[in-house]
Structure 1
Amino acid sequence: MYGFLCSLHILQAQHTENIISHNQETIVTDPSKGENSYKHWALFPPQSKEIRQIVLNLTFECPDNMRCADWDYVDHIKVRQKNDTTNYEIARMLTPYGGRFQEDWRFDWKVDITDFSPILRDSLEVDYIHTGYEDNKTRGWKVTVDFEITYGTPVAEQLAIHKVYDGNYSYGDKTNPIENHLQPVTINAHSKSTFGKVKIHQTGHGMDANGCGEFCDKYRDILYNGKVINRKQLWMECGDNPLYPQAGTWIFDRANWCPGYLLQPDEVSFDLYSGQEFTIDLNMEPYETEKPSAKELLVAYVLEYGKINAENDVALVDIISPSNEKIHSRKNETGALAVIRIKNNGQNNLKSLVVNYFLEGQKPKEYKWKGDIPFGETAILTLPEEIYSEKDSAKFYVALKRPNGKKDGYGLDNSKSSVYTKPNILPESAVIYFKTNSKPGQNEYSVTDSYGKPIFKRDSVDLKPNTVYLDTLRLQKGNYTFKVYDKGGDGLEFWFKAKDGNGSVKLLDTLGQAIKHFNSDFGSHIIYNFRVEPGVPYHLDNEPSINMFPARTEGPVTLDYFANVEKDVEVIITQQEDETKIVETHTYLNFKKGIFTYDLSYLPKMRYYLKVVIDGKEVFKNRIRLKE
């Protein structure tokens, strides 16, 4: 216990500094150019100061007196040293579809940019470049760029950084093949180099007859001295995006990105030999088309490193669960079991370590892990004992020690804490309300305990179209996870697929009151962790469930409202571009549940908002596309 508390004390002793280049800055497009640059000078640490880690924290909010922007554009964060013409893209943001975000919306992302620490020094110009062509008078983003710097001994000596590719390359054009631009690059290794790393920012854009480059799945090879050392499918599934739902086609899988995503770079390490010449080459999957329009937006760096500074060194990268970070909000399928990410920063493969973890006020638990993690690689660990606190919120602590049975070569990054939130308490008897849409073959739902043991399951073969299922659960004391899966990745409702209809899912008590509402526009899955505690008052979800369908219509729009508590409810329909122009208002007094259809076919064909206001507060907002 004493050693554990000491390691947590060390955590507090780490010296960190936050350098904010853009502080809640409103950014908008420049439609005349397709990009808008926001440059600020910032003072970073001198070269003499050792840096252990740099994390870039990026925050988006809706601007003051504007609404959030609509489109999924590519934004760049670039830096340039004083008296230098070379700029370095250190991060790339793919903006979300913000058309349905409410005024108080906010989201945070982060990416490790430690590899750029040799250039993140002294006086730097930090340029946030927002691309796109949408209206810049009524919509935009409020952006904060925060460099979180942790001082200390580097994992390895950083010797050089080379920018080897930087362009928006045509893909599929036989008159201008992409390989003409991705030629092998020859570099003379530093005299002290022992290993190198290729670091790549790459996203596919444009739309040809085959959906390339945004919506086509192609591979990319990395070659070292002519031999392939890595092949990656440049494809990302978007239905599990933690930023959901969005207004546009947020669920559609894309070429290495999703709307509302801070790009996590591809990194591949390789051995280097002191002073020797080596070549790096990137090759895209061969592809040609008659009318090419695809683009591969690609920046690649080669980094050289010298001595690794510790033989045995493990770092706690993140506590995924429990966590109050939205970026982790859809990840924990193990309920009451904590999930962490660790990294091996030691020269030796990491084959064992001890993990101590506990909730504040409780006795520490110990887990002796065994595995095999090479240098520079990460792994996700699920800790074996359940955690639970009667407190609504508590600190959760984790500390790592004894990598490979040895003293850690750098112990200052072995500990972290996160925020634990008590799971909802459910009654011993509860009801799953599940209304299918027209594609029930895509769905299944289940209840398991924390260890994955099945308690209840309804498979897709049991489901019929447009049917309500009421399944009663009778559960003993313990921790559980309710899961809903959609193999199509489009939830029970998605505006672009109106022909699939809409379904809904909620948990009810035996009196018909809502214990938990779920948004039907959930993409690929729902994961809901809860606890059954007999004799304890159980949770009721007194926020209303509100669903509007379809969002793209020739006229009729249906509003489905369900609540436990009667309220005076106001439904307001406005023009999207000028929300002061109200076209319809409907007031329902002492209202609890009901389904209403509004026929908007008489209105001009444009976009509108449907808003629901309760007690003067806007609780729901969705966009209506009124089509011909």
Structure 2
Amino acid sequence: MKIIMNIIGRQNFMLAIAWLALLLCGCSQDNQGEKLYDPYNAVSAIERLPFYFENPESRAADVSVASETHRLSFFGWGESTDMCFTMQLPDDVASYDRVLLEYRMGAWGNRPGEWDNTTMLFVEDKSGERYEIARAITPYGNSFNSSWSKTFWLDVTEYLPMLQGETNFYLYYGGWDATDKRAHTLTVTLHYYSGKPSRNTVFVHKLYDSSRDGNSGYRGWSYGVAGHDIEDDARLGLRTIEVPESVKSLEMRVAITGHGHDRGTFVERDNYITKNAAEFDENFYKFVINGNLQESVGHIFYSNADNYYQAGTYRYDRANWAPGNPINVQYWSIDAPKEGYGTMTIDLDLEKFESKMSQTNAEGVAQYIVEVFLFGFDK
């Protein structure tokens, strides 16, 4: 130390020490503010409501586009039979920072339809690919009259690149309760709000789509039927994704609802009596990202204790849905390693289940309707 001081001089030596201390302090502060990537904690839940009972925006919409009122009836089994309607949306959406979907349930004829049935609304992007933008379950309609309606609000801002110009939408309704005297209806209105976006959607990727590839007959994948494992590659298997360099943040939209009244066995639950899977029994899903099992776990469950009055079992808890409401969509953030997302693998795993049924389309078979998408943003 004394030799160094003699060479560079005491004053220069003290300046060098001070500069080094500042440099180390700055690095320490930078490291404290930087989130270190943990490959086993790359997925985290986003605190986001799946829908609102009132308009969450205090601003007035700059543009609102409404569809016709659509009578819901069974249109057919496959996607080719879904009811198509077209909406003329704004041609340029760069100046909007939020889009809300107003989802209005109503009655046709004397009253709504009788049963709680699945309604799926898809938007078609400009390449012809369909993405589910909303899913809801109709209410038990016997307690309502011809003037009944119920409105919900969904934030669909991440879909903004699809919601421009002439846009096709498709409706699936999984019920036969429409008659010449009564039926459920749906009216869709899109509200656009002007502002500078905090981020832009630059990447959309479909991970899982049971509507297109379902084996249960109701746009779902059967659960636990021997020889038809829901974790097979054709269903909830491993997916490999190429994420563009432009993506700086990545989110996963998970829409899973359980249906059926199967009394099979949850293999990993000791001394457990199944509660009519998969509609009335909870389940959990795990993430495997790039081969690493994540600590975060998704819960397929929705409490209906505060659901509004209907003529049926409207207060029974269900697998991510409630009669007369949009479903419980769940959102997850996926961290990027230091080198960026690049090529990554994602796998979703449900609990092991053995069905009582031998056919994937048997009446009451446990099944899940699954639509899981990735949205990538530039910030």
Q: How does the TM-score come out when normalised to structure 1?
A: 0.44
Q: For residue 267 of structure 1, what is the aligned residue in structure 2?
A: 331
The correspondence for 2:240, drawn from 186, 189, 194, is 186
> Is contact 2:72–2:178 with CA below 8 Å preserved after alignment?
no
Aligned residues of 2:159 and 2:201 also touching (Cα < 8 A): no
Letter in 2 for 1:93: A
1:68 equivalent in alignment to 2:122: no
- The alignment status of 1:136 with 2:179, answered yes or no, reads yes
- CA distance in 2 between counterparts of 1:208 and 1:11 reads 45
Q: Where do residues 420-569 of structure 1 align in structure 2 (5 Å cutoff)?
A: none
Aligned counterparts of 1:208 and 1:220: Cα–Cα separation in 2: 19
Q: Determine which of 173, 177, 199 is the counterpart of 2:225.
A: 173
* Residue 199 (structure 1) aligns with: 253
Q: Give the structure with the larger helix fraction.
A: 2
RMSD between aligned residues: 2.3
11, 16, 28: which one pairs with 2:62? 16
Aligned residue in 2 for 1:40: 85
Partner residue, 2:193: 150
Deviations 1:156-192 (A, max 9, x none): 1321000110002111123111110211211122112
Q: Quick one: higher RCO (CA 8 Å, sep 6+), 1 or 2?
A: 2
Q: Tell me if structure 1 keeps the 8 A contact 2:122–2:131.
A: yes
Alpha-carbon contact 2:320-2:328 (below 8 Å) kept? no
Letter in 2 for 1:213: A
1:217-242 deviation digits (Å, cap 9, x = unpaired): 1111123223315312211111211x
The residue type equivalent to 2:248 in the other structure is T
Distance 2:345 2:96 in 1: 29
Q: 2-side partners of 1:11 and 1:134: how far apart?
A: 38
Shift in Å, 1:201: 1.2
**2-structure distance, mates of 1:121, 1:250:** 37
Q: Post-superposition, which runs of at least 4 consecutive aligned residues in structure 1 deviate over 6 A?
A: none
Distance 2:277 2:58 in 1: 47
Counterpart CA distance in 1 for 2:288 and 2:77 is 36
- Are residue 164 (structure 1) and residue 207 (structure 2) matched? yes
Distance across 2 between alignment mates of 1:94 and 1:234: 16
| Shift, 1:147, TM fit | 0.9
Find the aligned partners of 1:125 and 1:81 in 2 and give their Cα distance: 8
* Corresponding letter in the other structure for 2:167: L
Q: 1:66, 1:139 within 8 Å by CA — same for their partners in 2?
A: yes
Tell me how far apart the structure 2 counterparts of residues 124 and 221 of structure 1 sit (CA, whole Å): 35
Q: What is the match of residue 321 of structure 2?
A: 257
Q: 1:126 to 1:229 in 2, by over 3 A?
A: farther
What is the deviation of 1:47? 4.9
- Please list, as runs of the form range in 1=range in 2, the aligned pairs for 1:324-343 lying within 5 A after superposition: none
The answer to whether the 8 Å contact 2:137/2:325 transfers is yes
Distance change >3 Å, CA 205–CA 275, structure 1 → 2: closer
Instruction: Provide structure 2 residue ranges, at least 5 long, that are not aligned to the other structure.
Output: 1-56, 211-219, 264-273, 359-364
What SS does the aligned partner of 1:149 have?
Answer: strand
Q: 2:89, 2:166 within 8 Å by CA — same for their partners in 1?
A: yes
Separation in 1, partners of 2:82, 2:74: 9
Distance between the aligned counterparts of 2:142 and 2:330, measured in 1?
30
Following TM superposition, by how much is the alpha carbon of 1:33 offset from its aligned partner in structure 2, in angstroms? 5.2
Q: In structure 2, what residue type is equivalent to 1:190?
A: P
Alpha-carbon deviation of 1:275?
Answer: 5.9
More strand by share: 1
Deviations 1:387-430 (A, max 9, x none): xxxxxxxxxxxxxxxxxxxxxxxxxxxxxxxxxxxxxxxxxxxx
Change (3 A) 1:43 1:220: same
How many Å apart are 1:214 and its aligned residue?
0.6
Please name the residue that 1:536 is paired with: none
For 1:297, the equivalent position in structure 2 comes to 369
Corresponding position: 1:247 with 2:290: no
Structural mapping, 1:40-59, within 5 Å: 40-47=85-92, 49-59=94-104
Deviation at 1:297, TM superposition (A): 0.3
Cα pair distance change 1:264/1:149, threshold 3 Å: farther
- Give distance in 2, aligned partners of 1:48 and 1:34: 32
Q: Find 1:215's aligned residue among 280, 288, 291.
A: 280
Q: Deviations over 1:329-362 (max 9, x none)?
A: xxxxxxxxxxxxxxxxxxxxxxxxxxxxxxxxxx
Q: Report the AA paired with residue 227 of structure 1.
A: L
Match of 1:288 in 2: 354
Matched, 1:110 2:153: yes
Once residues 146 and 172 of structure 1 are traced to their aligned partners in structure 2, the CA distance between those partners, rounded to angstroms, is: 39
2:203–2:375 CA contact under 8 A, matched in 1: yes
* AA partner of residue 174 (structure 1): A
Equivalent-residue separation in structure 1 for 2:355 and 2:341 (angstroms) = 43
Once residues 251 and 295 of structure 2 are traced to their aligned partners in structure 1, the CA distance between those partners, rounded to angstroms, is: 11
Which 5+ residue runs of structure 1 have no aligned equivalent? 1-9, 308-628
Do the aligned partners of 2:101 and 2:154 also contact (CA within 8 Å) in 1?
yes
Q: Look up the match of 2:214.
A: none
Q: Pick the aligned partner of 2:74 from 26, 29, 52.
A: 29
Stretch deviating more after TM superposition (196-205 or 33-42): 33-42
Distance in 1, matches of 2:144 and 2:115, equals: 12
Whether the 8 Å CA contact 2:287–2:348 is kept in 1: the answer is yes
Q: Which one-letter code corresponds to 2:91 in the other structure? A: P
Structure 1 position 289, deviation (Å): 2.8
Give the superposition deviation at 1:274.
Answer: 3.6
SS of match in other structure, 1:245? coil
Counterpart position of 1:235: 301
Paired amino acid for 1:153: K
Describe the superposition over 1:359-393 as per-residue Cα deviations: whole angstroms up to 9, x where unpaired: xxxxxxxxxxxxxxxxxxxxxxxxxxxxxxxxxxx
Cα distance in structure 2, aligned partners of 1:151 and 1:294? 44
2:295 and 2:157 mapped to 1: Cα distance?
A: 23
TM-score for the superposition, normalised by structure 2 = 0.71
SS in 1 for 2:231: helix
One-letter amino acid of the structure 2 residue matched with residue 196 of structure 1: L
Kept in 1: contact 2:262–2:356 (CA 8 A): no
Aligned length: 291
- Aligned partner of 1:19: which letter? V
* Whole-Å separation in 1 of the counterparts to 2:178 and 2:104: 22
The alignment partner of 1:118 has SS state of: helix
> Does the residue aligned with 1:117 lie in a helix, a strand or coil?
helix
